[in-house]
């Protein structure tokens, strides 16, 4: 049987595909742009019609298509979200449940991003996996496109794999492409991918970006996220040479460095001349840039985020942010206002990988205040869990300066961090440091 005939044999429509999913089962989904909008809509419609009950949904990083379909509050009797990384849709559901008699509707699963494949393998048997992929090539292979992460592994662990083929999903080269014969059912649907709209860089982000870039030497291998501050850092690196990229998230800022010739990857020790990533987000132009681009390489998250793999490159520079940092340098990057806000992601994976890299360093960079300067992000004590322990924090950057915490006593750390706080908050932080016997 030829590939076209095998494809036609698996091709169906959304309602028929999701009819394979049973009540009291576990469904996992790709994350972000890998989440299949039509399959999610059909599954939500089936639940709304009373055709499903007690379906557990496991996933990272929901976007608007998932919010509009599976994560509707009226479906929470039958669909039970188990999120590894809370976003706005989950926070909205949590608020709705709290207003509805403190009803529990969202389940948070603590796990680092790098450990997610092992978490699924060891603890979460998956009945059905749903994911969006690029069109099949002439050899029978689909691409996971923007999202290799846990997707490429868990898609093979699941008892059943259903894919949504979208011509707007870029074909991306790298590890673990998906062959037709691994797929149980296929639907076709054309839709725009979730877009991360660019926003102007704020003045404080501009100064932070310049300070961070000053720590990045020629030939460094970068890990950095997406958003305003990462874009400011990338813009400040346009005079660097031979940068490498080995990063959890790939976005437009890093794409710009590749196109300008700043990021060649030719000084990397592994995956030389390729920008390695595990998931990507940007706008439509960025997704078009990714399509069949030999400069980039996607790989599973248990490879990309493995500290031992990260450390194989020299001069790794890990750049992350945080919600708050205490006076000893411990960072909470996931908890806000007494509640889980996001998750730990891969921050600690890369900080430890950079620490083990020859000539490597890690940076936690953040504006010193929020809410128009009324709240300091440098605090006496953390209000949530420790995402990155103080023992691991290296450089800290705010708009007020840079501090290298490595080797400093707790007293010297407190003084250095108070100097990075906004001037209007320093006196209260100094008083707190005295009360804690730090100074």
The architecture that CATH gives domain 3-188 is 3-Layer(aba) Sandwich (3.40)
Q: Could you tell me which residues come within 8 angstroms of residue 144 by beta carbon, excluding any fewer than 6 positions away? A: 30, 34, 131, 133, 134, 151, 152, 155, 172, 176, 177, 178, 298
Q: What is the mean predicted confidence (pLDDT) over 344-350?
A: 96
Contact of 381 with 326, CB cutoff 8 Å? yes
Q: Report whether pLDDT(120) > 80.
A: yes
Predicted confidence band of residue 411 (pLDDT cuts 50, 70, 90): very high
- The β-bridge relationship of strands 185-188 and 160-165 is parallel
Q: What is the mean predicted confidence (pLDDT) over 175-185?
A: 96
Q: Is the pTM of this model over 0.85?
A: yes
Residue 414: count other Cβ atoms within 10 Å of its Cβ.
Answer: 25
Q: What is the mean predicted confidence (pLDDT) over 133-155?
A: 97
State the catalytic residues: 248
Q: Which pLDDT does position 202 carry in this prediction?
A: 86
Q: Report whether pLDDT(199) > 80.
A: no
Contact of 321 with 364, CB cutoff 8 Å? yes
- Report helix, strand or coil for 164: strand
* pLDDT above 90 as % of the chain: 96
**Span 386-395, pLDDT tens digits:** 999 999 999 9
Q: Domains of the chain: which residue ranges?
A: 3-188, 203-435
Pick the CATH number of 203-435 from 3.40.50.2300, 3.10.129.10, 3.40.1080.20, 3.20.20.70: 3.40.1080.20
Do the two domains 3-188 and 203-435 of this chain adopt the same fold?
yes
Predicted confidence band of residue 56 (pLDDT cuts 50, 70, 90): very high
Beta strands in 68-225 (DSSP E): 79-83, 107-108, 128-133, 141-142, 160-165, 178-179, 185-188, 221-223
Q: Report whether pLDDT(203) > 90.
A: no
Predicted confidence band of residue 1 (pLDDT cuts 50, 70, 90): low
Q: Could you tell me which residues come within 8 angstroms of residue 374 by beta carbon, excluding any fewer than 6 positions away? A: none
What's the mean pLDDT when you consider all of the chain? 97
Q: What is the mean predicted confidence (pLDDT) over 71-80?
A: 98
Of 156-165, 185-194, 197-206, 242-251, which gets the smallest average pLDDT? 197-206
Instruction: Map tokens 């460095």 to a residue.
Output: 257
- The β-bridge relationship of strands 335-336 and 339-340 is antiparallel
* pLDDT above 70 as % of the chain: 100
Predicted confidence band of residue 60 (pLDDT cuts 50, 70, 90): very high
Q: What is the mean predicted confidence (pLDDT) over 78-94?
A: 97
Q: What is the mean predicted confidence (pLDDT) over 246-266?
A: 97
Q: Could you tell me which residues come within 8 angstroms of residue 209 by beta carbon, excluding any fewer than 6 positions away? A: 201, 229, 231, 232, 233, 234, 235, 236
Q: Which pLDDT does position 58 carry in this prediction?
A: 98
String of DSSP letters for 336-382: ETTEE-S--TTHHHHHHHHHHSTT-EEEEE--SEETTTTEESEESS-
Q: What is the mean predicted confidence (pLDDT) over 413-428?
A: 98
């Amino acid at each position: 049987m030829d590939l076209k005939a095998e494809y036609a044999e698996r091709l169906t429509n959304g309602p028929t595909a999701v009819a394979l999913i049973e009540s009291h089962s576990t469904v996992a989904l790709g994350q972000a742009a890998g989440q299949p909008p039509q399959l999610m809509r059909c599954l939500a419609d089936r639940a709304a019609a009373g055709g499903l009950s007690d379906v557990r949904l496991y996933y990272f990083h929901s976007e608007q298509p998932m919010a509009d379909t599976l994560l509707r509050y009226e479906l929470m009797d039958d669909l039970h979200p188990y999120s590894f990384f809370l976003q706005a849709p989950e926070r909205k559901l949590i608020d709705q449940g709290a207003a509805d008699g403190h009803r529990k509707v969202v389940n948070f699963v603590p796990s680092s991003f790098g450990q997610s494949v092992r978490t699924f393998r060891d603890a979460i048997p998956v009945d059905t996996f749903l994911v969006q992929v690029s069109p099949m090539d002439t050899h029978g292979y689909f691409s996971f496109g923007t999202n290799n992460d846990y997707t490429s592994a868990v898609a093979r662990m699941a008892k059943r794999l259903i894919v949504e083929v979208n011509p707007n999903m870029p074909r991306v080269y790298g590890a673990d492409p998906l062959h037709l014969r691994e797929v149980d059912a296929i639907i076709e649907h054309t839709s725009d991918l979730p877009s991360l709209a660019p926003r102007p860089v704020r003045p404080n982000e501009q100064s932070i970006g310049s300070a961070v870039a000053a720590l990045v030497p020629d030939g460094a291998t970068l890990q950095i996220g997406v958003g305003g501050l990462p874009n400011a850092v990338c813009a400040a690196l346009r005079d660097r040479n031979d940068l490498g990229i080995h990063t959890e998230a790939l976005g437009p800022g890093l794409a710009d460095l590749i196109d300008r010739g700043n990021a060649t990857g030719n000084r990397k020790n592994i995956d030389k001349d390729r920008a390695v990533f595990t998931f990507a987000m940007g706008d439509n132009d960025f997704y078009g840039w990714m399509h069949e681009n030999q400069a980039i390489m996607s790989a599973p998250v248990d490879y990309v985020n493995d500290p031992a793999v990260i450390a194989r490159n020299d001069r790794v520079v890990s750049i992350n942010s945080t919600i708050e940092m205490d006076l000893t340098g411990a960072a909470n990057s996931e908890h806000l206002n007494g509640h889980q806000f996001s998750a730990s992601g891969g921050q600690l994976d890369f900080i430890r990988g950079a620490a083990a890299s020859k000539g490597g360093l890690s940076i936690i960079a953040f504006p010193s205040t929020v809410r128009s300067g009324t709240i300091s992000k440098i605090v006496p004590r953390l209000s949530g869990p420790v995402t990155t322990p103080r023992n691991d924090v290296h450089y800290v950057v705010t708009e007020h300066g840079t501090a290298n915490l490595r080797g400093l006593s707790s007293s010297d750390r407190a003084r250095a961090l108070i100097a990075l706080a906004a001037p209007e908050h320093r006196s209260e932080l100094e008083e707190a440091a005295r009360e804690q016997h730090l100074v």
